[in-house]
């Protein structure tokens, strides 16, 4: 597909997504449409685009989405268990972690975790996402014990658990190598891991937002080792804090390189920085989250730079809210995340979009933008595809309602 001088300055269309783009942007987008390996230069050009150029990027991203996965928008029925909010790491962007002596500190027992797993299965969940803070006195084998408790309580649930930071901590606490620790978890029933604790995969940025978190090289080692053991993962990026567009590009291209090596990423999830209750923002060291332009741009950029490598781009409605999440589904994204059942990390940082949305509400929202809803598994196999037209109408809730159980849990894609 090639641009022409006569199309410069005109709005892009579904049949001609390059219309209106400047020559440099059009050339970069033509290379993306042709399936060329993206360069840093093209990526940076796209990451900094505005106005008509951004419109063209969004149009091309939507075209690539349609070409890759069609008009289906997927979601997963899941529950999230955050087993403790006690954490010594003290990430500057986090409003969730507490000291062990804080009045609102908590740690769930194995029995409480098992009960939540049973309840999730009874409510129709297929995935259980488990993460937690890092208490100083944690027994590294507690991660293994959690898996045993969940497997005994709900053997059919897919267990999506433990960030690379938790895996590094568990390996350190047990004295096992990263590989041996991951193999132990797999043997005890771990299916996949969330690719969180990524933030921006640049140690210069990490020194500003999470100086006590694992360095980039260790994050990459854990994720690639997991993939080679047959443990797939999501991939994520936090945007809207202290980073620049060039950092988005480097981050996405690193994920692309990992994917070309292992093929283990199931999806990419842009995670907007929720700033209100974080030390990073309150101390004046970060801006107040991403702009509307940046939300659209990051999702579209991800589709363009990850095209041919990671097929699924997910929106995090708990961070974006429903209207913006739906907009981003028209900017290259194709997955609506999950039902959550419980979510607290984002709320602790100041998000106001709540903690549960029903499958019926998700399907109604997907249909509202003319797309076809489908329930998926964690690894993106379709469990049930629904029709575009239906008598099932719920509408778009103005914000999420509080669920029936106490909000002590965190979604892997709701955290960072």
Of 213, 207, 214, 348, residue with least CA distance to 285: 207
Please give the domain boundaries of the chain with CATH numbers for all domains.
5-69 (no CATH), 72-385 (3.20.20.70)
For residue 254, pLDDT beyond 80: yes
pTM of structure: 0.88
Terminal C-alpha separation, the chain? 37
For residue 176, pLDDT beyond 70: yes
- Give CA–CA dist 253/255, Å, rounded: 5
Of 194, 122, 181, 193, residue with least CA distance to 156: 122
pLDDT tens digits along 121-166: 999 999 999 999 888 989 999 999 999 999 999 999 999 999 999 9
pLDDT tens digits along 285-336: 667 778 999 999 999 999 999 999 999 999 999 999 999 999 999 999 999 9
344 — pLDDT class (breaks 50, 70, 90): very low
* pLDDT value of residue 379: 97
Q: Is 167 left (phi over 0), alpha (psi -120 to 50) or beta?
A: alpha
pLDDT tens digits along 405-414: 223 233 333 4
pLDDT tens digits along 198-229: 999 999 999 988 888 899 999 999 999 999 99
For residue 87, pLDDT beyond 90: no
For residue 89, pLDDT beyond 80: no
């Amino acid at each position: 597909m090639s641009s022409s001088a006569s199309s410069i300055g005109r709005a892009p269309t579904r049949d001609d997504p390059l219309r209106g783009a400047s020559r440099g942007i059009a050339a970069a987008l033509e290379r993306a449409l042709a399936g060329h390996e993206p360069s840093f230069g093209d990526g940076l050009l796209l990451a900094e685009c505005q106005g008509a150029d951004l419109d063209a990027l969004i149009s091309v991203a939507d075209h690539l989405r349609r070409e890759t996965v069609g008009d289906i928008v997927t979601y997963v029925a899941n529950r999230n268990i955050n087993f403790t909010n006690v954490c010594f790491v003290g990430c500057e962007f986090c409003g969730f972690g507490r000291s062990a002596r804080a009045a609102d500190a908590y740690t769930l027992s194995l029995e409480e975790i098992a009960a939540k797993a049973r309840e999730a299965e009874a409510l129709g969940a297929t995935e259980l996402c488990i993460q937690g803070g890092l208490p100083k006195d944690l027994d590294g084998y507690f991660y293994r014990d959690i898996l045993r408790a969940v497997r005994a309580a709900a053997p059919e649930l897919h267990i999506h658990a433990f960030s690379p930071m938790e895996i590094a901590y568990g390996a350190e606490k047990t004295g096992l190598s990263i590989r041996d620790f991951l193999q132990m978890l797999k043997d005890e029933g771990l299916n996949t891991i969330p690719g969180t604790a990524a933030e921006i995969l640049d140690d210069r940025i990490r020194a500003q937002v999470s100086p006590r978190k694992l360095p980039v090289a260790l994050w990459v080692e854990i994720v690639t080792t997991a993939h080679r053991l047959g443990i797939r993962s999501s991939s994520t990026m936090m945007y809207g804090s202290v980073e620049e567009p060039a950092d988005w590009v480097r981050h996405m291209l690193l994920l692309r390189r990992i994917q070309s090596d292992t093929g283990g990423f199931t999806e990419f999830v842009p995670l907007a920085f929720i700033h209100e209750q974080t030390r990073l923002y309150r101390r004046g060291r970060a801006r107040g989250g991403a702009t509307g332009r940046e939300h659209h741009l990051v999702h579209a950029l991800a589709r363009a730079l990850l095209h041919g490598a990671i097929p699924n781009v997910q929106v995090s409605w708990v961070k974006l809210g429903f209207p913006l999440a739906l907009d981003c589904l028209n900017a290259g994204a194709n997955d609506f995340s999950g039902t959550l059942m419980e979510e607290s990390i984002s709320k602790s940082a100041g998000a106001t979009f709540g903690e549960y949305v029903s499958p019926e509400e998700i399907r109604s929202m997907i249909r509202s933008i003319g797309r076809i809803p489908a329930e998926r598994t964690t690894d993106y196999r379709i469990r049930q595809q629904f029709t575009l037209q239906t008598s099932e109408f719920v509408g778009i809730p103005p914000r999420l309602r509080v669920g029936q159980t106490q909000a002590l849990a965190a979604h892997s894609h709701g955290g960072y």
